[in-house]
Amino acid sequence: MSANQTVNLEKIQEIVERYGYDKSKLISILQDIQAVYHYLPAQALKLVAGYLKIPLIDIISVATFYRAFSLKPRGEHVATVCMGTACHVRGAPRILEEFERQLNLKKGETSEDGKWSLETVACLGCCAIGPVVVVDGDYHAHTTIRKVSNILHKYQK
């Protein structure tokens, strides 16, 4: 999946219309677009700039400022390792390293075959069950270095 995936014009317009072409709703609009395409295709951003009558550079500034957005396609599966303070103190960096080793990716990268993305998040607010790893929306509690391969295995099919 390239960063220049063609988008459905109507879909983008529908999303912008949903928020009444309101410029202040830019973040929500981008979130909805990302929910459909799993990232923000360049063409979508250009369309939004046109519909909302905002300079394209302003949209890019917003899209790159907030961590929730990705301008590059994400993998089919996304593994997010929580790097909050509590998880850090309980060994999150070593767990991230294990994910990096097993997926052969550095944090923030997506695999060539488009199957996996490895990301980190500053804190999910689930500190009691840390170290926490979220894979495709599933929360995994009390992760250890040795549990990583089992976790990945569940989604490998």
Partner 1 sequence: MKRLRKFKNVEDLRKTIQQQEATRQQETKKVITVSSGTCGQARGSQKVIEALKKALKAEGLKDQVIVRITGCHGFCEAEPNLIIYPDRIFYQKLTPEDVRTIVQETIKDGRVVEKYLYRDPRTKERAWYENEIQFYQKQKRIVLGDNIFVDPTSLLDYLAIGGFKPFLKALTEFHPEEIIQTVKKSGLRGRGGAGFPTGVKWEATRRSPGDIKYIICNGDEGDPGAYMDRSVLEGNPFRVLEGMMIGALAIGAREGFIYVRDEYPLAVRHVTLAVDQLYRAGLLGKNILGTEFSFDLHISKGAGAFVCGEETALIASIEGRVGEPRQRPPFPAQKGLWKKPTCINNVETWANIPLIIQNGAEWFSSIGTAGSKGTKIFSLVGKINNTGLVEVPMGITLREIIYDIGGGIPDGKAFKAVQTGGPSGGCLPASLLDLPIDYESLTAAGSIMGSGGMIVMDEKTCMVDVAMYFLNFLRDESCGKCISCREGTQRMWEIVKDISEGKGKPGDLELLEELALATKDASMCGLGQTAANPVLSTLRYFREEFEAHIYEKRCPAGVCKSLIRYVVIPEKCTGCEACKRACPTQAIQGTRKDVHLILYDKCIKCGACLEACRFEAIEAQRDEAIIIDKEVRL
Partner 2 sequence: MITMKINGVEVKAEEGWTILETAQFYGLEIPTLCHHEGLSPYGACRLCLVEIGEGAKAKLVSSCTYPAEEGLIVHTDTRRVIQARRMMIELMLSVAPYSKVIQDLASKFGVTRMRFTIRNEECILCGLCIRMCAEQMDGKAIGFQNRGYQRKISTPFDIRSEECRLCGGCIYICPACQLRCQGPQAETALCNACLTMDPTCLDYYDELQCWMYDAGRCGTCVREKK
What is the contact surface with partner 1 in residues (CB under 8 A)?
22-28, 30-31, 58, 61-62, 65-69, 83-91, 94, 97-98, 101, 121-130, 132, 139-141, 144-146
Among partner 2, partner 1, none, what binds residue 35 when CB lies within 5 to 8 Å by partner kind? Answer: none
Query: CA quadruple 117, 135, 59, 56: dihedral positive or negative?
Result: positive
Minimum gap (Å) between residue 21 Cβ and partner 1: 12
- The Cα–Cα gap between 131 and 141 comes to 6
Q: Which is nearer to partner 2, 29 or 135 (CB)?
A: 29
- For partner 2, the closer CB: 95 or 118: 118
DSSP state of 38: S
Q: Cβ 3 to partner 1, closest distance in Å?
A: 20
Task: Return the one option of partner 1, partner 2, none that residue 139 interacts with (CB less than 5 to 8 A, by type).
Answer: partner 1
Best CA proximity match to 49, nearest among 68, 35, 29: 29
Which of partner 1, partner 2, none does 60 bind, CB closer than 5 to 8 A by kind?
partner 2
Distances (CA, A) of 129 to 55, 63, 75, 120, 142: 43, 31, 26, 17, 5
42 binds, options partner 1, partner 2, none, Cβ within 5 to 8 A by partner type:
partner 2
Task: Mark out the alpha helices in the chain (DSSP H runs).
Answer: 9-18, 26-37, 42-52, 56-65, 85-89, 92-103, 148-156
- Closer residue to partner 2 in complex, CB, 49/151: 49
Output 48 or 92, the one with its CB closest to partner 2. 48
Residue 12 CA to residue 29 CA, distance in Å, equals: 9
